[in-house]
Structure 1
Amino acid sequence: MQHALYVAPFAELSDPARMIDLAEAAEGGGWDGLFLWDHVHRDPGEVRDIADVWTMLAAVAVRSWRLRLGPMVTPISRRRIAPLVRQTVTLDHLSAGRLVVGLGLGVDTAGELTRFGEVVDPVARGAILDEGADLLARAWSGQHVSHRGPNFTVDGVTFSPTPLQAPRIPLWFAARDRALRPVRRAARYDGMFIIEVDVTLLQRALDEVVAVRGSLDGFDVAVRVSPFDDPALLDVPGVTWALHSYPPDAEAAWVLADAAAGPPR
């Protein structure tokens, strides 16, 4: 079992200096990863200060040497594919091959999608996610990419450099509650970050992964650890990561103290 801090670059942790302090404390405390929420807007009554996830991850990458890091999760529906390819590969090189890319549909909490004219319909966002994830993996491979789809166009481009990690940067996909379509999507790639499940629903999701892949070999399963989650989730065979979650307005001193204390073993 590997343990990661799962925090939002919001409020006090929107300060890059504090995030760097957190990364250094997590390294010293023996944590295995540091994953950041990816949002551009929240309810101002909850939190106002929000930092860019990619800039924060770059700061974490240059001030750490062992931590796995990445966005958890990025909705491709509000990203453009070419900048996303360049950002992820650059960050993979900057971190010496420690990047994990979490992908999902995104949410419209406080109008995060509607306020910026983004796609809201979940079926449409699912189609964008499927097409975009396939394109991202193809672009990372170094192959010549020619693609004209309903949501993305890449007209004969070979992206270089390619990631340090082979066969690709790990792609984890968000899943929640009873929905199995996101689980099947995750099973085609490298991992799943699943929330809002009990032990029974988690086992159901893992059975679905096995039905798609044949086994859980080489597949990461990350579960959230918070006051709202059953700690028994960590005892389910197949779970490989515990993401210790903090509220969006968490005080930096609280998270920093936990980082320095290290993960439960």
Structure 2
Amino acid sequence: MKFALNTPNFGAYSDPRLLAELAREAEAAGWDGFFIWDHIHPGRNLVEPTADPWIALAAMVMTTSKITLGSLVTPLPRRRPWKLAREIVTLDHLSQGRVILGLGIGSDRRQEYSGFQESADSKRHGEMLDEGLEVLLGLWSGEQFSYTGKHYQVNKEVFLPRPVQQPRIPIWLAGTWPHKKPFQRAARWDGINPICWDKALTAEDYREIRAYIQQYRTSDAPFDVIASTLETGTDPEKDRTTARAYIDAGVTWMQERIEWHTSVPQALTRIRQGPIRI
């Protein structure tokens, strides 16, 4: 089991210098990972400063040397896949191979599609995600790559350098449980970040998720299951019990969410406590 932090990229956490400091503190305290959200804005009716996640992650890379960093979750249909391919490979080289890419279709709950007159159709976004994943993989190969899809076309492009991490930069996909299609898609990649809007997922939910995905796995390569929790650190024994239940259910990463309304001093105090010790 690995332990990570997860912060927004808006509000107080839109300051890349602050995020770089928090990442440095997290590494010193023994956390394994630090992930940030990828939002254009926090919501049409909520005006807050917002940072570009890739610039913020670059700042975080430069203050750390071991901790894993990445986005959870980048909606690929909101981005040009060839632009994202360049950004993530650059970050992979800058970090010397410490990057994980979290991807999904995103949602329009914050009007991050419709607010800019883009389609909010989830089926269309699912098609774009599938095609975008193939484009990322092809461009990361370092070989001449062409692609003809419904949404994306690439004509004999060669992207260098290749990623530091091989055979590819790890890709975790997000999906809203119990919708099944995103979890079938995730089985072809490197991990799943389950989301549920109706309730907090339990260890038994994660066990069910892992068993469902396993039916569709065609590789015996390691596969990560990421659990999200709210603040821990106030009851160590309860935290250890929760972590052990997640481990038994097949969870490999436990990420603790720092909500956008959490004060920076509160976040810093929790970070310095370090992760759960089993």
Deviation at 1:187, TM superposition (A): 0.8
Q: Is the 8 A contact 1:8 1:37 kept in 2?
A: yes
- Residue 202 of structure 1 is matched in structure 2 by 206
Deviation at 1:82, TM superposition (A): 1.6
Q: Which runs of 5+ in 2 are unaligned?
A: 232-240
Alignment pair present for 1:190 and 2:193? no
The equivalences for 1:157-196 within 5 A come to: 157-196=157-196
| TM-score, structure 2 normalization | 0.89
Residues 223-259 of structure 1: CA deviation (Å, up to 9, x unaligned): 10126xx947624432100010121232222111111
Deviation at 1:199, TM superposition (A): 3.4
Distance in 2, Cα, partners of 1:235 & 1:143? 39
Structure 1's 109 and 248: CA in aligned 2 closer, same or farther, altered over 3 A? farther
SS, match of residue 24 in structure 2: helix
Distance in 2, Cα, partners of 1:46 & 1:261? 31
SS, match of residue 111 in structure 1: coil
Distance in 2, Cα, partners of 1:127 & 1:145? 20
Distance in 1, Cα, partners of 2:166 & 2:276? 30
Of 106-115 and 126-135, more deviation after overlay is shown by 106-115
- Residue 259 of structure 2 is matched in structure 1 by 247
SS, match of residue 213 in structure 2: helix
For 2:267, give the aligned amino acid.
V
- Aligned residue pairs total 264
Superposition RMSD in Å = 1.9
Q: Which runs of 5+ in 1 are unaligned?
A: none
For 1:22, give the aligned amino acid.
L
Structure 1's 202 and 160: CA in aligned 2 closer, same or farther, altered over 3 A? same
Residues 200-233 of structure 1: CA deviation (Å, up to 9, x unaligned): 4322221122111167751011110126xx9476
Of 19-28 and 194-203, more deviation after overlay is shown by 194-203
SS, match of residue 225 in structure 2: strand
| TM-score, structure 1 normalization | 0.94
Deviation at 1:47, TM superposition (A): 5.2
Distance in 1, Cα, partners of 2:21 & 2:9? 13
Q: Is the 8 A contact 1:36 1:53 kept in 2?
A: yes
Identity score, percent = 38
SS, match of residue 72 in structure 1: strand
Deviation at 1:13, TM superposition (A): 1.3
Distance in 2, Cα, partners of 1:236 & 1:248? 31
- Residue 122 of structure 1 is matched in structure 2 by 122
Distance in 2, Cα, partners of 1:36 & 1:70? 7
Distance in 1, Cα, partners of 2:24 & 2:89? 23
For 1:190, give the aligned amino acid.
D
- Residue 86 of structure 1 is matched in structure 2 by 86
- Residue 224 of structure 1 is matched in structure 2 by 228
Structure 1's 132 and 44: CA in aligned 2 closer, same or farther, altered over 3 A? closer
